[in-house]
Amino acid sequence: MTDKIWIFKNKKLNSDIINTISQEHHISRIISTIILNRGVDDKEISSYLKKSMSDIINPSIMLDMDKAVERVSTAIDNKEKIAVYGDYDVDGITSTALLYEFLKSIGADAEYYIPDRKEEGYGINIMAVNKLVKKGIKLMITVDCGITAIGEVEFAKLQGMDVIITDHHTCKERLPTAAVAILNPKRSDCEYPFSSLAGVGVSFKFILALAIAKGLHTKDVFAEYVDIATLGTIADVVPLLGENRIIVDKGLKILQNPRRKGLRAIMEIAGVLEKPVTASTIAFSIAPRLNAAGRLGTATTAVELLLTKDDNRAREIALALDAENKERQMTEKQIFNEALDMISADPNFQKKKVIVLAREDWHHGVIGIVASRLCDMYYKPCILISYSNGIGKGSGRSIKSFNLFDALTHCEKHLTDFGGHAVAAGLNINMSDLDAFIKEINKFADETLTEQDMIPSVEIDCPLSEQSVTLENAKILSNLEPFGMRNEKPVFAISAVQVVNIATAGIENQHLRLRVAKNNCVINCIGFGLGEFAGIINKGDFINLAFQMDINNYQGCESVQLLIKDLKLSK
């Protein structure tokens, strides 16, 4: 029925440890198991549960923070022009808005610049540096980019412009040491104890350090900007543990009743303004609309949305972003179908462990989303490349067993530039090197990926009895929010439940609805995107379910329902 491997996380957990933690923290064994499964050690459990501001790390610990704060203070005192140089995704957009607004609030002569995705590409470029130099910019502060821009930073310095880099992407062996300061918790020489901040998280810590230097109340600054930091943190899919968990928890509370006019407008248009706001709300309703600006148009529009104080302008921008998002969906569908056609036409597709597809004039702003869909669909690393005049720009996504950044590093002789993370990266390539690159990255995959690595898995926190599938337990589990990467919503397994009823839902019958029973307990289930199982299982069959517990609220009546992640016939 399914080739997915079920991995039970708690097999190695010591029962005595679970009991001890349950007693010390006054929590259930289920909650203790889930927390331990997320790699939270004994010293961090209290912080994980409380999500307290007191656990925010002192920003001054980050390497070069003192240099960055001093240079900004000097620029303000000397009335020098400052440019915040951002990126066109949500992390970059929010980083730009956050730092720009704070700099203006402390008296800086600041502006912001985000490169055009199609014309300039990702990161710092010489053309943009020249533009800013001509405008009299004396200090450029990058956000969510710059860690690999060695030549560009050296060029800026030669033009008399200082650069501060704030970034969170993986560092290469060489750093842009011509910069005045490099704020990146992933630096090998940085002792900052939490390396998983998003780009906006690094920007956020920067403004907190500036606030301390200015004698401002950091709690007030935190509260003022944590909503923007939350958007970028969720959208960039960084682990929702440690500081990220605290940032998102506090930010979501503010976003329940957003005070920024632009956020209120976009949430209203997305239909989520009057609903509970979760990390999923941001990830699937708000982030795509903010991203649409940089994908098809100009990302500065999304920055303006976050900054505007005018209700009419906020609604105008929100409507435009919503329209661009719909256009993005159409473009995405077209590229996805073209990619599927290319895969179908490749007789050697099954032999390749990495999908690399290139086509002239695919939209740069959408290929990353399509790469992600193909990666999920085939469970293979996937890179899509759009090229023009012999120059290609690519975006890749990967499976958990394949570090894409390491793979690109291995193949860098075939690339003109690359950067990113283990699971998502971008690259530039001369198309004359494409065949060699495809051969090299697949050779690397053959040497590093086993057949087992290529089989998708479902990670399960622990088995659960039918008696434990209750509304009360579903509500208790909600206390572990916010859920996200490395703090995923818990997945459980239940065995040998009997199918009582089968139905499909959705316009294309793409969803599965089940009623199952065990020992007189009848449970409602839904499996999004699992409608095909309706033609495989039968009423009366005994099945095993991997699921998440959810609360269904229908006409004011709450009940527990299972969100099916996978199912197998019971042996």
How would DSSP label each residue in 15-46?
HHHHHHHHHHHT--HHHHHHHHHTT--GGGHH
Q: Name the token pair of 451.
A: 């057949």
As beta bridge partners, residue 518 has: 521
Q: Which strand (E) or helix (H) includes residue 569?
A: strand 557-569
pLDDT at 2: 52
> Which pairing describes strands 511-518 and 492-505: parallel, antiparallel, or unpaired?
antiparallel
CA distances (Å), origin 260, targets 90, 162, 263, 315: 16, 32, 5, 12
- pLDDT tens per residue, range 431-445: 999 999 999 999 999
pLDDT at 73: 98
- pLDDT tens per residue, range 236-265: 999 999 999 999 999 999 999 999 999 999
As beta bridge partners, residue 85 has: 113, 142
- Round to whole Å and give the CA distance between 398 and 425: 9
Site of tokens 């039968």: 538
pTM of the model: 0.90
Per DSSP (E only), the strands in 209-364 are 355-360
Task: Specify whether the CB–CB gap between 344 and 375 falls below 8 A.
Answer: no
pLDDT at 118: 77
In whole angstroms, how large is the CA radius of gyration of the chain?
25
pLDDT at 119: 83
206 SS3 class: helix
Q: Which strand (E) or helix (H) includes residue 400?
A: none
Q: At 486, phi and psi to the nearest 5?
A: 65, 0
Q: Name the token pair of 204.
A: 């956020």
Q: At 481, phi and psi to the nearest 5?
A: -65, 160
pLDDT at 112: 98
Encode burial over 310-330: b for 16+ CB neighbours within 10 A, e otherwise. eeeebbebbebbbebbebbee
Encode burial over 75-90: b for 16+ CB neighbours within 10 A, e otherwise. bbeeebbbbbbbbbbb
458 SS3 class: strand
- Round to whole Å and give the CA distance between 363 and 359: 10
Residue spans of the chain under pLDDT 50: 1
Residue % of the chain over a pLDDT of 70: 100
CA distances (Å), origin 195, targets 51, 56, 63, 177: 18, 13, 12, 20
- Round to whole Å and give the CA distance between 163 and 82: 10
- Round to whole Å and give the CA distance between 425 and 385: 12
> Which pairing describes strands 137-143 and 511-518: parallel, antiparallel, or unpaired?
unpaired
